[in-house]
């Protein structure tokens, strides 16, 4: 059996295609940099805004408690109807979708709750709610 005495040729690596790709990348990045420079140097006057609204979402609904004796509490702070309207108007100017929940005492005069609801409407609040407890039908006495 004859033995091979000649060595095989070593494979050669052609660098021509790799150099071409490198030149193309260099040209691409040079042109891209030129475009970003000209975009930055354009004399464009950007529009101005007077005031930006809040970027935060609207707060949770404000809670108004109406007690038997006619006292009104807005978020655990006692207020009059005029103060209530002023505070809700200010909050509504900041958050257009502000909501209010009115909790009236079941033994109190309904007129007090109606006055609070009318004040909320006058302050521009559209999202109004009234809190009630569901009574068990079986335990309720017949009148």
Tokens 């790709």 sit on residue: 21
Q: What is the CATH number of the domain that holds 87?
A: 3.30.420.270
pLDDT tens-digit series, residues 46-81: 667 776 665 666 578 889 999 999 899 998 899 999
Residue 122 inside a domain? The answer is yes
pTM of the model: 0.55
Residue 67 in domain: yes
pLDDT of residue 81: 92
Whether residue 40 lies inside any domain: the answer is: no
The domain containing residue 108 runs over which residues? 62-130
DSSP string computed for 22-53:
HHHHHHHHHHHHHHHHHHHT--------S-PP
**Domain total in the chain:** 1
Q: Could you tell me if residue 24 is inside a domain?
A: no
């Amino acid at each position: 059996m004859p033995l091979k005495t000649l060595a095989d040729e070593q494979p050669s690596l052609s660098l021509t295609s790799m150099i071409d790709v490198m030149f193309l990348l260099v040209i691409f990045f040079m042109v891209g940099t030129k475009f970003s420079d000209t975009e930055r140097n354009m004399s464009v006057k950007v529009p101005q805004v007077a005031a930006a609204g809040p970027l935060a979402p609207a707060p949770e609904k404000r809670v108004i408690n109406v007690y038997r004796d006619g006292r009104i509490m807005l978020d655990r702070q006692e207020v009059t109807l005029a103060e209530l309207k002023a505070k809700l108007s200010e909050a509504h100017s900041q958050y257009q979708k502000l909501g209010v929940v009115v909790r009236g005492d079941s033994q109190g005069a309904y007129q007090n709750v109606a006055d609070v609801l009318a004040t909320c409407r006058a302050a521009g609040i559209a999202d109004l709610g009234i809190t009630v407890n569901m009574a068990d039908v079986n335990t309720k006495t017949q009148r």
